Structure 1
Amino acid sequence: MLSFSLADRLVLQLDQALHTLIPGSSNAARHTPAAAVDEAELSAADRRQAASLMRINHTGEVCAQALYQGQALTARLPDVRAGMDHAAREEIDHLAWCETRLQELDSRTSVLNPLWYAMSFGMGATAGLIGDKWSLGFVGETERQVCEHLEDHLERLPADDHKSKAVLTQMIMDERTHGDAAMAAGGAELPLPVKAGMKLMAGVMKTLTHRI
């Protein structure tokens, strides 16, 4: 089995950051769920609404990549680190799917993504340093909150935007699986103030990313 030094892992993290942040650099291992769905005729207002929501969802996946990569860098147990790497690879699908959908809607990703990536990477690395059970608990709570906002967006998408809905439906299934796996692997339930702080930060991100 290959063993990477800290320097090696930092180089790999930089490469992953560039693939996450540069549009068109992420390649999905699975076909987008929207591929089998016909494009509906959406009004200009509906396209703007859908694009705003999908831009937020794309940024959420940028944050997820950074979170998992930060935790994988500082996780103590090899199996926990491997689990973070596996989850991050699956999240790449979500990143690519959201980017593809934004292109179909003639829109773009958020210009603030580098900022959110840096902040999320720092949070993930800090969680890993505190301890693996808290790092896993952080993943579990993050995925729970992500599922909540994806379900909200599913309701807020234009009624005829079945392509975006297909993407979000699969993302919810994957995120729930990641969160359950993290808690089953020994994740600790986070204190309420930490959960509230995570929700507050997510709210700020969603507000700013809606248009920027």
Structure 2
Amino acid sequence: MLTTIGFDADDTLWANEAYFRLTEDRFTDLLADYTEAPHLKERLLEAERRNLARYGFGVKGFTLSMIETAIEVTEARVPASVLAEILAAGRDILDHPVDLLPHARATVETLSATHRVLLITKGDLLDQERKLAASGLGDLFHGVEIVSDKTPAVYARIFARHGQGAAQGMMVGNSMKSDVLPILSAGGWGVHVPHGEIWALEHADPPDGHARFHTLPDLGTLPQLVASIAAGGTAS
């Protein structure tokens, strides 16, 4: 029944969100001498929300949102030198080494021997390609899909193209909103593997009671869950 397994990338296979949160702190420090506007991080989040349709997900959209917010909250008085430092902060995220999370390599290797395994991630194409190359995991995947967003229709197309359809597919990731709920709507299995702090725009309530929803403490227990599903079990 289960033939194809998709893995999210950021904060599922390697660390990511922590670098954005550190950059947020750097952003507020840079603006401290130029504005008394309260709730700078909330203002930044509002800009990110507005700009998703324009810039999509990823570091470049985040950097542009920081620049936009800096101009807004300082009423265009922010110095060019500060804007340059904000750009440098965005580049620092892009240049950060890829740190694999525990069990990532071993789990992908194990499951690639028995199932078709896919990398399904959203965000900036060049950045995601860079991180995949740096991770050393690229050769383990039977297919790689870098998409602008994750929706039931996107998952249906991907699992039809690379497998036997969404009904025989599983998506594994840290985001309830992007990795779990859409694949469940498409008819597949959704496995939530929480990791650290999640971006506010990725929050969603778990689908408690759904027969194909599972949550795991880490990737190391995923092969056991897959084996249980193959045997007709209901491990969670």
Q: Report which of the two has the higher share of helix.
A: 1
Q: Which has the higher contact order (CA 8 A, sep 6+)?
A: 1
Larger Rg: 2
Q: What is the TM-score of this pair, normalised by structure 2?
A: 0.26
Give the TM-score normalised by the residue count of structure 1: 0.28
**More strand as a share of residues:** 2
